[in-house]
Chains A and B, each alone.
Chain A
Amino acid sequence: MALLAPYSKIPELNTATILLVENEEKVQSKLADAIVQREKDVNVNVRLACKLPLPVENSETRPRVDLVVFIVNLLSERSLQVVENSLNHLRSDFFLGKVCFMVTDARCGALAQERLLSVKKLAASHRCPVICAEHQTEDGISMAASRLLTVLKVSAGLSPVATTALYLSTLTRCTVPSELDED
C-alpha cells in the first residue's frame, strides 16, 4: 500500500497544490472553483478526491501535495468513517502542518454535535486544525476558500511571515477542552 508522501516530489516554482477529500462530493467542487478564482498571485492546483488512497495511475501526473483537507459533513456518519479510514493512507510527515479538517453542517441538530466532537478529538490526536465552514451560501464558500488559501500558502512555504509549517501547526491545531479528555 503506497502512502501519500509530502516530500517525494520537487516543488514547482510559485505553485501550491491542495487536495480536497470529500466522500459525497457536494462541497468540494464549489470550493475548488472558489479557490482557483480567488487566488491571483500564486498558481494553485486543486485535486479532488472522494477518499484516500488515491489511484496509482495518477501518481505520475500529480504534483507535490502541500495541503490535504478532509471535508466532513456532520449530517453523514459515513463521511466521518471515510475520513478516519483515509488518515491511514498519509505518511506521518503530513501531520506536521499539512493536514486540516473542514466540517460542514455543524449547526444542524444534536447528532451533528456528537460528530463534531469526534472530529475535534480526531484532529487533536493528529495535531491538526479544524475549520468550520458554511457551504450553503456563496459567502460561506468564499470565506472557507480564503481560510484554506491562508493555510495552504504557509504549508507550501509561500508565506514570508509564518515561515515553517511546524510553527503554524502549533498555533492553529485543535485542542479539545480538558474535561472531555477524561471521559
Chain B
Amino acid sequence: MNEEARAILQRVLRRLPSRKTQSTLRAWGCLSAQQLEDLDYTQPKWLLLENLISKCEESRLHLKDVTKLDMVYHIENPNQGTWHAFKLTEAEDEALSVDFTQFKEMFVAHLEEVVQHVSIRIKKLEDGAVWIRIAWGDNFTKPNHLKPTYAVHYLQTPYVFILNLAAKHKPFVYQALVLSTRHVSINEAHLTGRSLTAMRDLLMKQYQQVFPNQERTLKERNAPPSHPNIDKEHAEFAERTHQMACEAFGDGTVPKLETAVYKLETRYRGSNNNTLSDRDELFRGVVRFSSPNLLESLRHCVSTGMAEGPVTPLLSSITQKGRNYFVIAEKVPGATSQTPAHKT
C-alpha cells in the first residue's frame, strides 16, 4: 500500500455514508468475508480507515485493487459530478457485431498506442453498460489515480457518457472510442447533467412516451369526481391540456433532468425600449431553467394551465432531441441554424 492507494481509499471512505460502507466493500470483493466481519462500521471514519488499511495490507492488496474500489463506488453512485453525453455517428457495417471482449481489447490498444502512461480498467455490468475508468499520466509521470476519467458506453448504441474529461485528453478518448466501436466520428450531444440514469433514459427513450393518437391512459387518469353532486366544468379542457403536456414531456415518471440552458444570439424585440431595439448588434443572453426535476415541472406547468399551450418547440425539443443546451440564433435567410429562431 503506497501513499496514493491510501489517498484513494481515504477519499472513497469519506464519501461513503456509514450505512453503505459494508455493502460497497462487499461488492468490491477484495477482502474475505471474515475480514469484512471483523471491521467495526460504527467506528469513526479515520479509525475505520486505519483498520481497513491494515486489512488490505494483510491481503497484500495493491493500488490496482484500490482503484477497483473507486470504480465500484462510482458505479453505485453515478450521480456524482457532471456527465456529458456524446453521440457516435456514421456506423460502419461491423459496428453491430462488436462484442465486449473485442471492444475492450481494441479500446485499450488504441489508447495505449497514443498515451504512454495510462491505466485503464473496463467492466461490463449486467444491464449492458460498459464502464471505463481511465487514469492519465504523461510522458514523465505515472497515471494520476486521483483524477480519473469515467466513460459509460452501451454497446450497439451510439451513446457515450463521460465524466471528468480534461480538454487535452479529449482527442485520445474520441479516437479510441470511434475506432473500437467502428464508427466514423463522435459529436457532443449537447446534454449534460448530474444524473447518468436520467440522461440515459432520455436519450434511449426509456420513459413512458405519449403519442398524439393514444388517448386511453389519459382517460383513465381523469377520474370522475368523488360525489355525484360535484361536476367539473373544464374536465374536457383539462384532459386536453394534460394530453398535450404528456405528449411533450412524457407520462408517468420522467427522466430527472435538472437544467436546460438556452443561449440567445438574437436581436432584442420589444417596443418600449428604443435604445435596445434599434441596435444592430445581437442581444446576447443566457436563459437557464433549473429544478430538481425539470421535465416534471414543465409538464405540471402546462397541464395545470400555468403556461398556455401549445407547448413551444423550444421546450418540447428537450425530450424530442434529447438535448438540454440550445443556441438560439437569429433567423437569417440562407443560413442554416440548428434550432429555429423563436419570437415571443
Using a CB–CB cutoff of 8 Å, the interface residues on chain A facing chain B are: 19, 23-25, 29, 32-33, 36-37, 43-51, 54-55, 57-58, 61-62, 78
Checking A37, A54, A78 against B233 with a beta-carbon cut-off of 8 angstroms, the contacting residue is A54
Question: CB-defined interface of B231-253 with A at 8 Å, one 1/0 digit per residue?
Answer: 11110111000000000000000
Measured CA separation A21–B231 after assembly (Å)? 12
Minimum C-beta distance from B221 to chain A (A): 14
Q: Given A32-B225, A33-B226, verify A50-B305 contact (CB < 8 Å).
A: yes
- Ordered by A's residue number, 24 sampled pairs between the chains whose C-beta atoms are within 8 Å are A19-B233, A24-B304, A25-B304, A29-B225, A32-B230, A33-B227, A36-B230, A43-B229, A45-B230, A46-B231, A47-B230, A47-B231, A47-B233, A48-B230, A48-B231, A49-B233, A50-B234, A50-B238, A51-B234, A55-B234, A57-B236, A58-B231, A58-B233, A61-B231
Q: How many residues of B contact A (CB 8 A)?
A: 15
Which 8 pairs between the two chains have the least Cβ-Cβ distance? A49-B233, A46-B230, A36-B227, A32-B230, A48-B232, A54-B233, A45-B229, A36-B229
Checking A23, A25, A46, A51 against B229 with a beta-carbon cut-off of 8 angstroms, the contacting residue is A46
Task: Report B-chain residues with C-beta under 8 Å of the C-beta of A48.
Answer: 225, 230-234
B residues 297-337 touching A (CB-CB < 8 Å): 304-306
Minimum C-beta distance from B303 to chain A (A): 10
Minimum C-beta distance from A180 to chain B (A): 30
Measured CA separation A143–B304 after assembly (Å)? 26
Using a CB–CB cutoff of 8 Å, the interface residues on chain B facing chain A are: 225-227, 229-234, 236-238, 304-306
Check A55 against B233 for contact (C-beta < 8 Å): yes
Check A33 against B230 for contact (C-beta < 8 Å): yes
Measured CA separation A126–B227 after assembly (Å)? 32
Measured CA separation A50–B305 after assembly (Å)? 9
Task: Report B-chain residues with C-beta under 8 Å of the C-beta of A19.
Answer: 233
Task: Report B-chain residues with C-beta under 8 Å of the C-beta of A62.
Answer: 231, 233
Which B-chain residue is minimally distant from A32 (CB atoms)? B230
Most interface-central of B226, B234, B306 (chain A CB within 10 A): B234
What 19 new A-B contacts, CB under 8 Å, besides A32-B230, A50-B305, A54-B234?
A: A19-B233, A23-B305, A25-B304, A29-B225, A36-B230, A46-B229, A46-B230, A47-B232, A48-B225, A48-B230, A49-B233, A50-B234, A50-B237, A51-B234, A55-B233, A57-B236, A62-B231, A62-B233, A78-B306
Check A45 against B304 for contact (C-beta < 8 Å): no
Measured CA separation A23–B226 after assembly (Å)? 20
Minimum C-beta distance from B43 to chain A (A): 44
Task: Report A-chain residues with C-beta under 8 Å of the C-beta of B237.
Answer: 50, 55
Minimum C-beta distance from A55 to chain B (A): 6
Measured CA separation A7–B227 after assembly (Å)? 26
Measured CA separation A67–B226 after assembly (Å)? 21
Task: Report A-chain residues with C-beta under 8 Å of the C-beta of B231.
Answer: 45-48, 58, 61-62
Minimum C-beta distance from A30 to chain B (A): 10
Task: Report A-chain residues with C-beta under 8 Å of the C-beta of B229.
Answer: 36, 43-46
Minimum C-beta distance from A131 to chain B (A): 20
Measured CA separation A47–B225 after assembly (Å)? 10
Measured CA separation A24–B301 after assembly (Å)? 10
Measured CA separation A45–B306 after assembly (Å)? 27
Task: Report B-chain residues with C-beta under 8 Å of the C-beta of A47.
Answer: 230-233
Measured CA separation A62–B232 after assembly (Å)? 10
